[in-house]
Amino acid sequence: MLRMKILASAVPLAIATLFARGEFLAGPRPCIEISGTSVQIAALSWQAHRHVSFTNDPSRATVRVQISDTAEAADLTVIDDIDTVEAGACESNSPPRLVAISRNLSPSDPVIYLSRDGPADYRIFVSSKSFSLLDAAALIVGARGERHRVEAALL
């Protein structure tokens, strides 16, 4: 009986610990390192420091990300041919900056238009088993923020 009470009190505590740390999704999540800071896709949306969303309408976008055909022309290149992520590949001394992909468009968050056509604020090249095009676009915008290079060039 005492064992059952201990077990009954330990299980909710273990679940609360997992929930607080956001460790529901096992395994590594896509991340990049820029200037000594790692930027990672958040496991849970509420943990993220920055939220981004995507649109199919270029007029609603605040950031344009072009899918590049070559690695040389890209601002962010992700190439891997392995099934598992190397341990410690994106570790830094500080906690990672977390980015979440939101399904709802928010006026305060970057809205990304991902396309193969230009002009673009960023260009990405992805040939990966662990990164999607959406992950790469969210990470570069989450790391660098909204640039208005295209608008500035038009002025």
Question: Would residue 36 count as lying in a domain?
Answer: yes
Beta strands in 24-120 (DSSP E): 31-34, 37-41, 50-55, 63-67, 76-79, 97-102, 111-115
The pTM for the full model equals 0.70
Give dist(CA 35, CA 143) in Å, integer: 10
Q: Write out the chain's pLDDT in tens, 155 residues.
A: 666 566 556 556 555 555 544 444 445 677 777 777 788 888 888 888 889 999 999 999 999 999 999 999 998 888 876 655 555 556 666 788 899 998 877 778 899 999 999 899 999 999 988 889 999 999 999 887 665 444 433 43
Question: Minimal CA–CA distance to 29: which of 124, 127, 134?
Answer: 134
Query: Does 21 fall in a domain?
Result: no
Task: Say whether 54 sits in a helix, a strand or coil.
Answer: strand
Domain range for 136 is 28-154
Residue 5 domain-assigned (yes or no): no
The answer as to whether 7 is a domain residue is: no
Q: Is residue 58 part of a domain?
A: yes
Quote the number of domains for the chain.
Answer: 1
Q: Which of 102, 109, 135 is nearest to 28 (CA)?
A: 135
